Amino acid sequence: MGELLSLAGQNLLTPMILSFALGLFAAIARSELSVPEAAAKMMSIYLLFAIGFKGGVAVAGHGLDEHLIAAMLGGIALSFLIPLLAFGLLRAMTRLSPLDAAAVAAHYGSISIVTFVTASTVLSAQGIASEGYMVAVAAAMEAPAIVSAIWLAARSGGRTGQVQMDARLWHEILLNGSIVLLVGAFLIGAVTGEAGLARIDAFVVAPFQGVLCLFLLDMGIVAGRGLRTARKVISLGVLSFGIMMPILGATLGLGVALLIGLSAGGAALMMTLAASASYIAVPAAMRVALPAANPSISLTLALGITFPFNLTFGIPAYTAVAQALIGE
Amino acid sequence: MQTHSAKRVEILIEAPLELRLTDALEAAGIKGFSVLPVLGGAGRSGRWSREGQVGRTGMVAIICVIRPERLDTLLEAAFAVVKPHIGMVSIGDVQVLRAERF
């Protein structure tokens, strides 16, 4: 247990996590510190490209194995199933309506790519190897949760007009910018391999952690602002859910990782994916599909509670648990 | 200088609905509109601000200036998209200089 805490402590004291904490503090203390919206968007494009490209290069170097298909299927199954668990918990622990609970559940079944990028970087900094194809698993886990949530909303008696799903929304979900960029960069990395990386490594490797620090500083500010408004929309039950759900999700992710036989790094990433909640792709999809659901509850929970929890305590804990159970 | 009567329709709508609405307007023959970002505000759900919004959330304002006789066509097309969503539609009487452009 002492070793576990020591590992978690080491993972916590990284420039990335501390930058996030700085942003969180600045927002809560109502500092005027802010990152221009366009700069934040540019940094997110850079991070998605870099993480996708490096994942592709890793796959090109080690080749594909049977674990890739198993990890993809495991990730998709998690994304379908986690909303069912989240919905049940929300209905038991809170007074949220079925529609609001379904919308929140969609966020928790999908993933936060920023949390995934941070976990990947923390693992690299610790010298813990992980499967490069986890980038593709992350992309595959974005959408299935939306299907589960819409089914939950419809099953719970969503009236006509409360649940709206059409081909155009599917197109927007499956081809949203972050998925296209992540998968595209992954394929570019897989095709060009080490030779491709050698040509652009000064751009995608060396500056990566510094850019991530600035991006997480901004995310800390965003999360801090979310936390400031949290007390207006979040009850104690909903708050407890925001902490409990990532732990349950990570436990399910660990189970899938053990079943598949992922490395310690791969297991930590699968736990992180299962524990994280979407706050970019799913909120937009839910506004179209479930317009009557209250967007402030799900966004505040995902961004103001679960995202900071995963970054500060979750990722270090998931990494430590995966290492303790699977080894180096 | 001669001016002409027109209707100015302002639709505040959630950002993810922007393309659906502008496509519906174009399909109804409304070829001219402007899309503006909304920085923040307050309404039935309380205060909100664009600060802290991630992705395609927040609100946008879509503004059309049209000939009065086209108002019903525009409203029917817009309401088919806007009705179930958070937002606001307002209509005002305005004067324009070059009527042939509307």
* pLDDT for position A160: 47
Nearest CA distance, A100 vs chain B (angstrom) = 14
Residues of chain B numbered 42-81 and touching chain A (CB < 8 Å):
45-46, 48-49, 51-52, 54-57
Among B41, B15, B100, B40, which Cα is nearest to B65's? B100
Q: In chain A, which residue ranges form alpha helices assigned H by DSSP?
A: 2-12, 15-28, 37-62, 66-93, 98-109, 113-125, 134-140, 144-155, 167-174, 177-204, 208-233, 236-260, 264-275, 281-289, 295-299, 307-309, 315-326
Minimal-distance CA residue of chain B relative to A41 = B55
Check CB contact of B85 with chain A, cutoff 8 Å.
Answer: yes
Q: Cβ of A291 and B46 within 8 Å?
A: no
B83 touches A: beta carbon within 8 Å: yes
Strands B59-66, B4-14: pairing is: antiparallel
Please tell me what DSSP assigns to residue A112.
Answer: -
CB nearest to B16's CB, from A225, A284, A294? A284
Torsion angle of the four alpha carbons A144, A146, A147, A149, in this order, in degrees rounded to the nearest 10? 130
CB atoms within 10 A of CB A225: 24
**Residues from chain A contacting residue B51 (CB–CB below 8 Å):** 34, 225
Residue labelled with tokens 């002492």: A2
Domain B4-101 falls in which CATH fold? Alpha-Beta Plaits (3.30.70)
Dihedral class, residue A301 (left if φ above 0, else alpha if ψ from -120 to 50, else beta): alpha
End-to-end CA distance of chain B: 18
Whether B45 and A296 lie within 8 Å, measured CB to CB: yes
CA distance linking residue A281 with residue A273, whole number of Å: 14
Q: Identify all chain B residues contacting A303, using CB atoms and an 8 Å cutoff.
A: 52, 54
Model pLDDT, residue A41: 82
**pLDDT band of B1, cuts 50, 70, 90:** confident
Reading the block at residue A255, the tokens are 């189970």
- Whole-model pTM: value is 0.83
Contact B77, B28 (CB under 8 A): yes
Tens digits of residue pLDDT in A109-164: 999 988 999 999 889 888 899 998 999 899 889 889 998 998 898 887 655 456 66
pLDDT digits (tens, 9 = 90+) for A202-239: 999 889 989 999 988 988 888 887 777 776 777 899 99
**B45 to chain A: which residues are within 8 Å by CB?**
294, 296
When computed from its CA atoms, the radius of gyration of chain B, rounded to whole angstroms, is: 15
Identify which of A206, A264, A247 has the alpha carbon closest to the alpha carbon of residue A7. Answer: A264
As a whole number of angstroms, the distance between CA A171 and CA B91 comes to 33
Inform me whether the pLDDT recorded for B79 exceeds 60.
yes
Q: What pLDDT is stored for residue B55 in this prediction?
A: 59
**How does pLDDT run across A42-87, given as a tens digit for each residue?**
888 898 899 889 888 988 877 777 788 899 999 999 999 999 999 9
All structural domains of chain A with their residue ranges: 2-326
Mean pLDDT computed over A305-326: 91
In chain B, domain spans = 4-101
Lowest mean pLDDT, pick from A58-62, A155-159, A298-302, B6-10: A155-159
B101: confidence class by pLDDT, cuts 50, 70, 90? confident
Choose among B81, B19, B15, B86: nearest CA to B54: B15
Interface pTM (ipTM) of the complex? 0.70
A contacts of B48 (beta carbons < 8 Å): 296
Q: Is B16 on the interface with A (CB under 8 A)?
A: yes
Q: Per CATH, the architecture of A2-326 is what?
A: Up-down Bundle (1.20)
**Which pLDDT tens digit goes with each residue over B31-75?**
899 999 888 777 766 666 666 555 556 789 999 999 999 999 999
The tens digit of pLDDT for each residue in A75-118 reads 999 999 999 999 999 999 998 999 999 999 999 999 998 899 99
Res. A2 pLDDT band, cuts 50 70 90? low
> Do the Cβ atoms of A284 and B46 come within 8 Å?
no
